[in-house]
Amino acid sequence: MSERLQPVRGTQDLLPAAMRRHRAVVEAARAVSLRFGYEEIATPIFEFTEVFARPIGETTDIVMKEMYSFTDKGGDEVTLRPENTAGVVRAVMSNGLTQSLPLRFFYQGPMFRYERPQKGRFRQFHQIGIELVGVKEPAGDVETIALGAEVLTALGVLKRVELQLNTLGDQASRQTYRGALVKYFTQHAHKLSEESRKRLERNPLRILDSKDERDMALHADAPHFDQFLTPDSRDFFARVRAGLDALGISYKINPRLVRGLDYYTHTAFEFVTTELGAQGAVLAGGRYDGLMGVMGGPETAGVGWAGGIERLALMIDEPPSGPRAIALVPIGEEGEKRALVLARELRRAGFAVDLAYSGNLQKRMRRADKIKARAAVIIGEDELKRGIATIRDLDSGTQTEAPLPALKDRLSAFKT
């Protein structure tokens, strides 16, 4: 097969078994989000490049290395979305929704980043996520984290993850801390990795997120954020922790948990597992009060999270494949015609129906076994003359007859 007929590196086909897992994650997240009052939103898969480049930062790794950007036929610079928070905030601004705060949104869909593929990381990947826009109080952080915990509970994985929590403080705290980090790492610049030396100039907080051994050796003696928090920042974080404590949501303070972008403030959090190797964060988020202002809108509070569907799908039990089918087995031209009508009637009655379109009785019965059908309904010339159908229980092998008008009722025992 031609190499061009293979999936592009970093993408994958979601075949039925994988799609069942994917759908289970989305449906669980959607159901929980609705109970919290979050309505589903869908934004375009691509936006004007400025929507992402401006808030994320022209010099960040995402913008410089990972975004799929191109000039379309109309000459516009557009980008496949690398994340969805900026798109949701843009939608709030574009549709004049800042007059209707607070807003609660749930989303799900594909994102795109040019990264090195590995287990749980793809170049086209899928996320679930929520955004709470217009709530500046710590209770908003507690709500979003609690919602995430409920989604993980619904998926049966909460006990296999650890909630890691940190505060990035307010802008004043952050600026002071940034200066302390630059001073510290500048003294040790010759020991940093090449990538972190670049980050030292444009995004020093990201050095704390580096997994390079050279950088990690310097982390231990680096200044801690909590040394630079303002009283208001300390109080905000204390109220977030108190809310989580009241809900019985356990967490671990991780002072190295950061968000490198300047519009992030206060709470940062990740639900992390040890089951997926290097890609341990399955759901992560934080507060981004500065984002809408960076994008040219009014200063508006925001907090939210995104979860990796592929990563969560690897952790959940195999979902059932759905109801077992009733196999219709017509024989002869008249049987074929009657089977079309019967298939429609049974499907409208809620049955899963498989109707093969060729082959003799033996071949069609083999297909019924292959698809693990629950029962086979045989409609031949003799059956049609007598106005009945032959029903074969494919689990027990027993066979009965039923009048065609009563077929739906007689098959109700096989609706599994």
User: How far, in Å, CA of 180 to CA of 247, rounded?
Assistant: 35
Asked whether residue 340 falls in the same domain as residue 263, the answer is no
pTM: 0.88
CATH number reported for the structural domain that contains residue 367 in this entry: 3.40.50.800
E strand residue ranges, 139-180: 162-167
> Which of 15-29, 59-73, 246-260, 401-415 holds the top average pLDDT?
15-29
Query: Which residue, of 287, 315, 343, is where some domain finishes?
Result: 315
- Domain contains 401: yes
Helical (H) or strand (E) element with 405: none
User: How far, in Å, CA of 384 to CA of 341, rounded?
Assistant: 13
Q: Collect all residues with Cβ–Cβ distance below 8 Å to 102 and sequence separation of at least 6.
A: 132, 133, 134, 135, 140
Token pair of 264 as six digits: 């992030």
Q: Give the pLDDT band of residue 1 (cuts 50, 70, 90).
A: low
Q: In what order do the strands lie in the sheet with 77-80?
A: 46-48, 77-80, 68-71
Helical (H) or strand (E) element with 245: helix 231-247
pLDDT at residue 279, as a whole number: 67
pLDDT at 79 over 50: yes
pLDDT at 53 over 60: yes
What mean pLDDT, rounded, does the chain reach? 90
Q: What's the number of domains the chain is made of?
A: 2
Q: In what order do the strands lie in the sheet with 252-253?
A: 39-40, 103-112, 124-133, 302-308, 281-287, 265-272, 162-167, 252-253
Domain span at residue 333 reads 326-414
- Domain contains 32: yes
In degrees and rounded to multiples of 5, residue 148 shows phi and psi of: -60, -40
Query: Which residue, of 315, 342, 360, is where some domain finishes?
Result: 315
pLDDT at residue 59, as a whole number: 47
User: How far, in Å, CA of 113 to CA of 121, rounded?
Assistant: 10
- Domain contains 84: yes
Radius of gyration of the chain (CA): 28
CATH number reported for the structural domain that contains residue 18 in this entry: 3.30.930.10
Asked whether residue 332 falls in the same domain as residue 392, the answer is yes
Nearest to 353, CA basis, from 381, 375, 334: 375
Asked whether residue 136 falls in the same domain as residue 238, the answer is yes
pLDDT tens digits for range 22-51: 999 999 999 999 999 999 999 999 999 999
pLDDT tens digits for range 364-402: 999 999 999 999 999 999 999 999 999 999 999 999 999
Nearest to 126, CA basis, from 268, 26, 271: 26
DSSP state letters, 342-392: HHHHHHHTT--EEE--S--HHHHHHHHHHTT-SEEEEE-HHHHHHTEEEEE
Asked whether residue 331 falls in the same domain as residue 308, the answer is no
For residues 276 and 387, the model is more confident at: 387
Please list the residues that pair with 303 across neighbouring strands: 132, 287
pLDDT at residue 205, as a whole number: 80
User: Residue 298: exposed, middle, or buried by beta-carbon count in 10 A (0-12, 13-18, 19+)?
Assistant: exposed
- Domain contains 202: no
- Domain contains 52: yes
pLDDT tens digits for range 81-129: 999 999 999 999 999 999 999 999 999 999 999 877 776 678 999 999 9
User: How far, in Å, CA of 200 to CA of 192, rounded?
Assistant: 9
Alpha carbon 372 to chain centroid, angstroms: 31
